[in-house]
Structure 1
Amino acid sequence: MRNLIICLLCSVIISGCGFSLRGNYELPASVSQLRVGSAEAHSALERALRNELKPYNVDIIDASVEGHSDVTNIYLLSDELDRRLLSLFSTGQVAEYELIYTVRYELQFANSDAQLLEFDIKREYQDDPDAVLAKSRELELVLSEMRKQAAIRIIHQISVAQHTLSNSALVTP
């Protein structure tokens, strides 16, 4: 009985302080519809973002559809993958890269100005010149994982930006 009371007390304290598991982002109720678009037609990042938004039950509207001025807009401006040399083999061939995936997008909530946001996701990638085909497939998988992580980060930034926007609206007279 004592253990049960201790467990209940701990769970009440943890939930009361606002703790939530990492990756468990709640979108505000005001973000029930999103207009998603990108500068590049059929963008892989746009597809990843749409897939990550499915569990949130958000109506996704194409950027090409006009109207809906009370909708939150996300416009993916660019996503680029750069490589930076980290190490070389004794033969002079590249042994390791740092992959840098940069995402730039514009976020605009209803009745507010657009915000230009940018972030980087970095990964170390070991290159093996003897397994070119396997490494190219591995690079595709790493890039796909980086896009998924970028989509999750965009969702998190939407949540944070909306929360910040609603708090600043409460403070200003």
Structure 2
Amino acid sequence: MHKLLIRLCLFTALLSLTSCGFHLRGNQVLPPSVNFVAMASTQAHSPLARALKKRLKVYSIEAGTVAESPSMNTSVLINIEPEKLERRLLSLFASGQVAEYELIYGVGYTVTFPDKEPIKAYFEVLRDYQDDPEQVLAKSRELELIVSEMRDEAADKIIRRLTTQASQSTPEL
């Protein structure tokens, strides 16, 4: 009787989650006609392109350069624009030195699906960064780590947008 009650509760929970439209993030896939994501970048060996290729592997999506693409009829092309990293002053120490920055990592890219018009997109990833003039070496390493995390977040965001744009660009049957 106890096992039956547990199964009934689990079934009810699953039924309510599916009926409300809940979907796990990242469970969308590219259309079956697309089997490769080709990447191009204006900067040779762009750090964002490397991060995007690494993240695409996590999502089990095959990726590479345009030259490695098996066919442009079955490939999505992502053209990555140069990344932008800006700092905005947030606060100062009493001495007048900068205490805190807001880091703004800007990403622009263009996605082209087979036989479709290119879709241009831009977004920003924001982080706060506290500066300490007495720990310059440690803070420079921390800045590198923060920027790397921002790149990974940007790559994940591009992939999420890619799956959304893929569903919007394919006609409903």
Among candidates 93, 97, 114, match of residue 93 of structure 1? 97
TM-score (norm 1): 0.89
Question: Residues of 2 paired with 1:68 and 1:39: CA distance?
Answer: 21
CA RMSD in angstroms comes to 1.7
Cα 1:124–1:25 change in 2 (3 A) is farther
Amino acid of the structure 1 residue aligned with 2:117: D
Query: What are the equivalent positions in structure 2 for 1:15-164 lying under 5 Å apart?
Result: 15-22=18-25, 24-28=26-30, 29-65=32-68, 68-70=71-73, 71-164=75-168
Deviations 1:56-106 (A, max 9, x none): 332223124577221110010121100000000000000000000000001
Deviations 1:89-137 (A, max 9, x none): 0000000000000000010000001111100000011001110000000
> How many residue pairs end up in the alignment?
168
Gaps of 5+ in 2: none
Question: Residues of 2 paired with 1:31 and 1:16: CA distance?
Answer: 30
Question: Residues of 1 paired with 2:128 and 2:63: CA distance?
Answer: 34
Contact 1:25–1:156 at 8 Å: present in 2 too?
no
Query: Runs (4+) of structure 1 moved beyond 6 Å?
Result: none
Between the aligned residues of both structures, percent identity stands at 39
Contact 2:91–2:101 at 8 Å: present in 1 too?
yes
Amino acid of the structure 2 residue aligned with 1:37: A
Amino acid of the structure 2 residue aligned with 1:155: I
